[in-house]
A and B are shown apart, each in its own frame.
Chain A
Amino acid sequence: GNSVTQMEGPVTLSEEAFLTINCTYTATGYPSLFWYVQYPGEGLQLLLKATKADDKGSNKGFEATYRKETTSFHLEKGSVQVSDSAVYFCALSPRGFGNEKLTFGTGTRLTIIP
C-alpha cells in the first residue's frame, strides 16, 4: 500500500538556520507529492507540490524536489524565521491528481527561536 514516512520531531532551530525535514514515500505508479503546513490554531494549507519525478516545488522560500530514485521529497529552507514555526506534513496522492484521498505522514513540529 501507500505510505509516507517523515522525520520525527519536534525540531527546534535558531532564526536564520538551514532547515531540512526528511520525507520518504512508498507508492505504486506515479504519485504526486505535497507539503502541507499547519500554523497554530489553523487547518492545513498547501505549501508546495510536485507532480512528477525531478519536479521542484517551491513557495515562501521553501523547496522540495521529487526524487523517484530515492523515493524522497525532503523539505528545505535556507534561512528560517520565527513565523515558520508550525507543523509540517508530507503527503502523497496515489493517482497523482491531488483531489483524491491523500496519504499523510505523521507531521513534524518545527519551532524557531529568535
Chain B
Amino acid sequence: DVKVTQSSRYLVKRTGEKVFLECVQDMDHENMFWYRQDPGLGLRLIYFSYDVKMKEKGDIPEGYSVSREKKERFSLILESASTNQTSMYLCASSAPYEQYFGPGTRLTVT
C-alpha cells in the first residue's frame, strides 16, 4: 500500500512564525504536490515537484515556499505565517492516473 504521511494532524502557530509542514511518501514517486483545502473553494495547488530539487509554482504560491532535498520528502514552508493561511494542507504523491494523499494538516494561525 502506498503511504503518504504528514508530520502533524493539527498545528497551532502565531502570526509571523516560520512554519514547516513535512510530507513523506514511501513509493518512490517522482511527482509530489502541496494543496490547500478550504470550504467552498475545493483544493488549490500551492506548489508541486517533479524531481529532487525541482519545483514549480501552482495556482496560489504567494506566502509559501517548498523544499525537496530527497525524493521521498517534500516540505512546505510558511516564511511568516498569517491568519489567512489558516487552512487544511494536503500533500500528495502520484503514479500514473492516480494521486495518493496524506491525511492532512489542519493549521491554525492566531
Is A66 on the interface with B (CB-CB < 8 A)?
Answer: no
Residues of B in contact with A (beta carbons under 8 Å apart)? 4, 29, 31, 33, 35, 40-45, 48, 58, 90, 92, 94-104
Among B29, B44, B99, residue most surrounded by chain A Cβ atoms (within 10 Å): B99
Selected from B41, B48, B101, B103, the residue in CB contact (under 8 A) with A101 is B48
Which A residues lie within 8 Å of B96 (CB)? 97-99
Is A41 a contact partner of B103 (Cβ separation < 8 A)?
A: yes
The proximity string for A residues 89-107 relative to B, scoring 1 for CB distances below 8 Å and 0 otherwise, is 1000100011111101111
Given contact pairs A43-B4, A43-B90, A98 touches B42 in the complex (Cβ within 8 A): no
Is B90 in contact with A101, judged by CB distance below 8 angstroms? no
Please tell me the size bucket of the interface on A: 20 to 34
The answer to whether A99 and B40 touch across the interface, beta carbons within 8 angstroms, is no
B4, B35, B95: the one contacting A99 at CB < 8 Å is B95
CB of B4 within 8 A of CB of A101, answer no
Pick 22 A–B contacts, CB within 8 A, sort by A.
A32-B97, A36-B99, A41-B103, A43-B92, A44-B92, A44-B99, A44-B101, A45-B100, A49-B97, A89-B42, A97-B96, A97-B97, A98-B94, A98-B96, A98-B97, A98-B99, A99-B94, A99-B95, A99-B99, A104-B44, A106-B40, A106-B41
Majority SS at the chain B contact face: strand
In the complex, A49 Cα to B98 Cα: how many Å? 9
Q: Are A101 and B58 in contact (CB under 8 A)?
A: yes
A47-B48 Cα distance, complex, nearest whole Å: 22
Top 5 nearest A-B pairs by Cβ distance? A43-B101, A98-B97, A99-B94, A106-B42, A104-B43
In the assembled complex, A51 has its CB within 8 A of some CB on chain B: yes
A17 within 8 A of partner (CB): no
Complex CA gap A89/B35 in Å reads 14
A62 to chain B minimum Cβ distance, whole angstroms, is: 16
> Would you call A43 and B102 a contact (CB within 8 A)?
yes
**Cβ–Cβ contact B97 & A99, under 8 A:** yes
Tell me the chain A residues, 34-83 only, with Cβ under 8 Å from chain B.
Answer: 36, 41-46, 49, 51
Contact with B along A1-43 (1 / 0, CB 8 A): 0000000000000000000000000000000100010000111
